């Protein structure tokens, strides 16, 4: 009889362990495996997105590399436009007093030629364009600088077919003596 009770107890414990395995342990393992597989899918999608973003930024950088800083600098060799590299691309400092007619938002004949060289170089690179209007607190010609920047933007859009969404104008207040117009290409 003792052996029967031992066997019954052993069978009951075994049934309890099997019950616990199928009721508690196995569903948790299946849930864990499902979550693990979902995590791997998400990681694959994130890696694909990262590669896509990297390839897009490389295309912009390739465009800037193709039409290099040195060739643009040679082309624009003038006192009216200064070119330099930034971390994101190229920046052009436009001396609006030398390019535009006095107290007007229209360029002089010489200024028109310089603007044409500048804008054709910028539009060949194909990047996002930011025009910065730098105004100091004493600048009496703030509206004129803004009008000249709008003229430059409109030339890019009308004459060179730049998409309006790729050009932005920012007006920045700066320290005395730093006023001007900059064009940043990214």
Question: What residues make up the domain containing 28?
Answer: 1-66
Higher-scoring residue by pLDDT: 1, 115 = 115
The predicted structure's pLDDT at residue 17:
87
Counting every residue written for the chain, the total comes to 186
73 and 145 fall within a common domain: yes
78 and 51 share one domain:
no
Q: Do residues 1 and 41 both lie within one domain?
A: yes
pLDDT for 164 equals 85
Nearest to 141 by CA among 151, 133, 130: 133
Q: Is the domain of 59 the same as that of 142?
A: no
- Alpha-carbon distance of 8 to 6, in angstroms, equals 5
Q: Looking at the structure, do residues 106 and 149 belong to the same domain, yes or no?
A: yes
The pLDDT tens digits of the residues spanning 81-137 come to 777 777 767 778 887 878 888 888 889 898 888 888 888 877 776 678 888 888 876
Say if residue 70 is exposed, middle or buried (CB neighbours under 10 Å; 0-12, 13-18, 19+).
exposed
Q: What tokens does 6 get?
A: 């031992």
Same domain, 127 and 171: yes
Indicate if 101 and 176 belong to the same structural domain.
yes
Measured between its terminal Cα atoms, the distance across the chain in Å is 89
41 and 85 both lie in a single domain: no
| 129 lies in the same domain as 89 | yes
Whether 96 and 149 map to the same domain: the answer is: yes
> What letter would DSSP give residue 140?
T
Identify the burial level of 133 via C-beta atoms within 10 angstroms of its C-beta, where 0-12 means exposed, 13-18 middle and 19 or more buried: buried
At which of 15, 39, 66 does a domain end? 66
How many structural domains is the chain composed of? 2
Phi first, then psi: what are they for 41, rounded to 5°?
A: -65, -45
pLDDT at res. 139: 64
pLDDT in tens, 125-154: 667 888 888 887 666 777 888 888 899 888
pTM for the structure as a whole: 0.59
| End position of a domain, from candidates 31, 66, 101 | 66
CATH of the domain at 116: 3.30.1330.60
Q: Are 171 and 123 in a shared domain?
A: yes
Q: What is the pLDDT of residue 44?
A: 79
pLDDT of residue 46: 79
Last residue in a domain, options 43, 66, 89 = 66
Residue 59 pLDDT > 60: no
Cα(162)–Cα(128) distance, rounded to whole angstroms?
Answer: 10
Asked if 175 and 139 count as a contact pair (C-beta separation under 8 A), the reply is no
Residues 58 and 100 occupy one common structural domain = no
CB atoms within 10 A of CB 180: 19
Distance between CA atoms of residues 183 and 137, nearest Å: 21
């Amino acid at each position: 009889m003792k052996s029967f009770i031992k066997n019954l107890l052993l069978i009951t414990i075994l049934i309890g362990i099997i019950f616990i395995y199928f009721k508690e342990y196995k569903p948790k393992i299946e849930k864990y495996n499902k979550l693990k597989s979902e995590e791997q899918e998400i990681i694959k999608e994130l890696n694909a997105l990262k590669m896509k973003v990297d390839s897009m930024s490389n295309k912009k950088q390739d465009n800037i590399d193709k039409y290099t800083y040195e060739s643009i600098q040679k082309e624009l060799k003038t006192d009216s436009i200064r070119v330099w590299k930034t971390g994101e691309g190229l920046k052009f400092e436009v001396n609006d007093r030398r390019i535009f007619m006095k107290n007007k938002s229209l360029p002089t004949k010489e200024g028109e030629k310089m603007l044409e060289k500048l804008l054709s170089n910028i539009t060949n690179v194909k990047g996002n364009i930011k025009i910065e209007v730098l105004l100091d607190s004493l600048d009496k010609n703030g509206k004129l600088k803004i009008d000249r920047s709008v003229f430059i933007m409109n030339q890019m859009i009308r004459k060179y077919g730049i998409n309006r969404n790729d050009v932005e104008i920012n007006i920045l207040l700066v320290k005395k003596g730093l006023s001007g117009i900059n064009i940043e290409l990214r």
